Structure formats: structure tokens, C-alpha cells
Structure 1
């Protein structure tokens, strides 16, 4: 396997990303295709197969030169069967035989994993995780996802739901989550959650604030807008960010005391707020975390961005 190459695939609802990599983690070729979710998502797997075969032909490469293909996908993964179900943003509301089809179409072995888990593996292998044995990853995007790596391996749990950090209850009386529960971390720490908190706070806020003025005008705002105004010391935006980061720090302190990983890596679109986000979360984390954990688990920002998924997917082939 040392001299064989790897293919990583990050399957998303809009775009499917591909990478050809060395076993040492170097990306040699990258490309992407639009994810065609029409026809009940039945075009997705054939399009992936066609794209791989086309690029191998273009690069004059053979299946024998590859140790295998790793793919990260939304939805519920059956790791034994290599099937995916409930990936509703792909129009997959029934089990899809992704492993079987891609293996037959490319003549390469395939491993399938949840998309949040492959992002965690990518950050652990080539990103902020410094290839440490124990890493927890939380991704703050439209929702909040996560992945737990213990002794170099993803933890799936008995039902495959380990690492669902976004559905940790932080306020039993909080907002209703899309999962049906109240007070999940996702309801405040996701991009949509930050906006939800801002709208709520604005209704009660009586002082001068550009954020309040924008909301009162009916402007559409994003989590980036809230963070940008907080960085400019907008008083309402600061209140929102302090609340969001307090809840996130509390949640991560629980992750830390449960797992005591070397790193907890924060990724996803909201993490683009950078050190401003990290410093606020750090304050809350240090307030709540068990003292013995404070010096052995470090919070870090993700470094790989959109490449985390393909890198982590490719690394599945290295995991024996």
C-alpha cells in the first residue's frame, strides 16, 4: 500500500469533491462535479463512477495503482453492508448500495463513512489534530456535527450515532431542534442558531445597536454579520456571541471530561470567525471544564477547510 494511491470522495448535496492522494497524505489531483439529485438521486452513483473512470483514463492510470476509494456521505451508513439511507438532501430515502455499485464500476475496493466523521479524520490526519491518537471534532455549519476519534479510529457507537455533538442538550427549556428535542447545541451554535438567538435578543434589546437596526429594518442577516458586528463592539452582537460561545464552551467541556482527547477541533463555516470565536469559547470552556482536563485537552480551529472531507475519506483506506 505504501506506493499505491488513494481516492477520497466528499459527497455533498450540491457538489461532489474528489482527490487522488498518496498514502502519506499529499493531494496530487483534485476535481469536483455537480451532485445531480434529480431522478430520486439515482444519477449520483453512476456519475461518481463515470467521473472516476474518466479521470483515470485522462491521467493514464489503472485501478491496480490504487489501494482503494474512501467516500464520505450524508445520511445513515450501514458500515458492514456499505449502504446509505436517510440522506434526504441527496433524495435518498431508501438504502443505496453505494459500496457495491462503485466497486463494480471502478474495480476498486470502497469504504463508506458519514461525512462529519471523514471531516474529523481529515483534520486529525493532515490538519489541526496533528495526527494525535485522540481527537474530537465539531463542525459548526447549517447544523452542528461532530466526530470522535479514539486511538486513531472513528467511534461509531452501538447504533452509529456517536459524535452527534450537535444534539447534546444544553438547555432543556431552549429552542426546539429539527430532531424534535428542546435545547440542542445545534439550536444556538449553528449558523442558523446564531441568527435565531440574534432575532430573539433584538426583540428585548432597547439600546443602540447596528444589529438591532438591521433586524428591525427586516434585513436578512447571517451568522457572519453577527460576528462581524461583534468584532466592531456592537453591544447587541456581543451579547449574542457571548451567549452562543458560553453554550458551546459548556458543551465542549462535557466532551473534554468524557473523552479527554488531546485536541478538540472546531470547524465549519461559523469557525471562519477565527480567533475571535475561539477566544470567547475558550473563556467559557475554562469556566466549566474539570481542572485536571484543562492542561491536557486543547481547543483548536480547523485548518483544512473544504479539503477535510476528501482527505479524511481517503484515509479510510489506511485504517485496518
Structure 2
């Protein structure tokens, strides 16, 4: 038995890779981050992670023997047998990369690899809004829309690893074209880019007085945050746009709720920073669409861990193992 065992959580992102050394109880002892170097076809990423781990263990006068394991959350498709990662296009990994094998080889610490949306779900479930409940669904609203589903404390992968792809649920068959090739995915309206798309679309037909419309007509660079900020100031076009977004999200989450009836559905990602304004409106739509007995047992809530969900969830992979 290791005395005072440590976990190392790694959140591998397209711009930054975050690291955290934790105790099994969930206390973060050390944290740092490095830039993710996606140049050279992403071939520098794994060596940079290995160098950073070994450098920091030396710095903190720690050895590989003190660690129960390393958990890594990564974009792309994960082969859960081998720890290979493929199709992580924002890392320039368009071919299988031996993430687990390479890091184990050069650190002498066992490694678990998981999809990044799933580790964020695990983090929120363990130390965040999920309050360590057995059954939790997590939806992250960022550049895209991701998700993770936890049943009986375990991430659900599904037959091909695509369970929890909430962003690609079709909510409007006549809707916008998605990057996946389908029409009307949740991602096309509820992601940060989707919200701006809805705003541009509605602005074209909107004839009233609106700061949002004036900005869009001006060709200003607008973000989802701008749309929600204007809605909070009662801008009529922004209110219309946020109504559409929250309605579609409430519909999608009502389908998740009736399918798995989790204790919590947690909304995270950058868009969730709109806070109670977002949650209240999504709840109104959700309550309208959801099956009544599910309404009594599934609670909609906002994520609480922010950017730390990834490293915390990654570290928890070792405990779950």
C-alpha cells in the first residue's frame, strides 16, 4: 500500500494542457499548465506532457512510486482497451496516437485515458454540482456541445464510445446544418457559435429597435456572452434569441431526463456563465416538456467547478479503476 497515495489528473486541451496532483479525498496539492503545441502534426504533444510530468516530480521531490496513477481527459475518440486516441482534430491528431503507452513507458506510472467531456462529467459528479450522486448527466456548452452520462457511478460509453453525444441530438430536422453533416443538432443552436448563428439569423428579419441588431448590422464581432448580456438588459432581439436557445436546450434535456432519469443534469461550459438567467429559462422549457414523474426526481443545475472539472475528473479515473 502506498503511503499518502497521489493521483495526477491531466486535462489535454487544444490550447492548454492542465495538470493537478491530488489526494484520493479530492484535495488538490499542486497544479500547473503548459501550452499545447499542436504544430508538427501534433507530434510534440505527448513528449511535452512526459517532460512536464518528470520535471515537476523532480521539482516537488516526488517519485513515480507515490502515484496510484495518471488520468487523462483528451479530445477525440478513445480506444478504451489500448488508450490510443484518434480523430482529435484540434490537436492535429488525424491518426491513432499511443497516449497511454508512451506516458506509461516514460513515467513508470499507470495511465487511464478518457474523453474530455466525460472527465468533466466525472469531475462535476465527484466534487461539483453532482454531489457524488450515482446517476448524473452533464452537458457542456462551449464551442460545440458535449456531454457525459454517469450511471451507477460509471461513465457510460455505449457500444461505439458515442454515448452522451448530447450535442448531436436532432431537435429540429429542418434546422441549421451541423459540422457533423446532419441538420438541426442541438449544437447548432446551444453552443457558443450556435447562439451567434441564431442571433444573425433572427436579426435579418427583425425590424424593431435593438442594440443587438445594430451591432450585427454593423458587422461587429459578437459572442454568445454579448447576446446573453444584452438579453439581461432586456434587449428585445436578444431576449428572442435566448428564448429560442433555452427552449431547444430544455427540450433536449427533457429527452435526456426521460431516457435515464438521473438525479442531476448539470449544465457547464462557457455558455453556462450566463448563470441563473440561463438556468431559469432552460428550466421553464424543460418543465413544459418533461414527463411529470421525472420532473419530481431529476434536478437541473449549473456546474460549479469551472475550468477545474477536467483535471479533477481525470484524476478520479484512477479511483474508479
Give the TM-score normalised by structure 1. Answer: 0.99
Q: Report deviation, 1:97.
A: 0.5
Cα contact 1:85–1:93 (8 A) shared by 2: yes
Q: Distance in 2 between matches of 1:226 and 1:2?
A: 51
Cα contact 2:8–2:19 (8 A) shared by 1: yes
Cα contact 1:75–1:87 (8 A) shared by 2: yes
How do 1:305-316 and structure 2 match up within 5 A? 305-316=306-317
**1:139 counterpart = 2:140:** yes
Unaligned runs of at least 5 residues, structure 2: none
Match of 1:295, SS state, is helix
Q: Distance in 2 between matches of 1:134 and 1:164?
A: 17
Deviation by residue 1:232-288 (Cα, 9 ceiling, x = unmatched): 000000000001000000000000000000000000000000000000000000000
How do 1:219-230 and structure 2 match up within 5 A? 219-230=220-231
Q: Report deviation, 1:154.
A: 0.2
**1:157 counterpart = 2:162:** no
Aligned to 1:79: 80
Match of 1:146, SS state, is strand
Aligned to 1:91: 92
Aligned to 1:300: 301
Q: Distance in 2 between matches of 1:249 and 1:59?
A: 46
Q: Report deviation, 1:41.
A: 0.8
Q: Distance in 2 between matches of 1:3 and 1:164?
A: 37
Over aligned residue pairs, what C-alpha RMSD do you find? 0.7
Aligned to 2:4: 3
Aligned to 1:70: 71
Match of 1:160, SS state, is coil
Aligned to 1:281: 282
Q: Distance in 2 between matches of 1:148 and 1:310?
A: 18
Aligned to 2:260: 259
Deviation by residue 1:3-23 (Cα, 9 ceiling, x = unmatched): 311000000010000000000
Runs of 4+ in 1 over 3 A off after TM superposition: none
**1:50 counterpart = 2:51:** yes
Cα contact 1:2–1:23 (8 A) shared by 2: no
Query: How many pairs are equivalent?
Result: 320
Q: Report deviation, 1:218.
A: 1.1
Q: Distance in 2 between matches of 1:117 and 1:124?
A: 10
Q: Distance in 1 between matches of 2:279 and 2:24?
A: 32
Aligned to 2:174: 173
Cα contact 2:3–2:66 (8 A) shared by 1: no
Q: Distance in 2 between matches of 1:97 and 1:19?
A: 22
Cα contact 1:210–1:234 (8 A) shared by 2: yes
Cα contact 1:249–1:282 (8 A) shared by 2: yes
Match of 1:254, SS state, is helix
Match of 1:20, SS state, is strand
Deviation by residue 1:145-170 (Cα, 9 ceiling, x = unmatched): 00000000000000000000000000
Q: Report deviation, 1:220.
A: 1.1
Q: Report deviation, 1:2.
A: 7.7
Q: Report deviation, 1:291.
A: 0.2
Cα contact 1:139–1:145 (8 A) shared by 2: yes
Q: Report deviation, 1:204.
A: 0.6
Q: Distance in 2 between matches of 1:88 and 1:293?
A: 37
Aligned to 1:247: 248
Q: Distance in 1 between matches of 2:266 and 2:299?
A: 8
Give the TM-score normalised by structure 2. Answer: 0.99
Q: Report deviation, 1:134.
A: 0.3
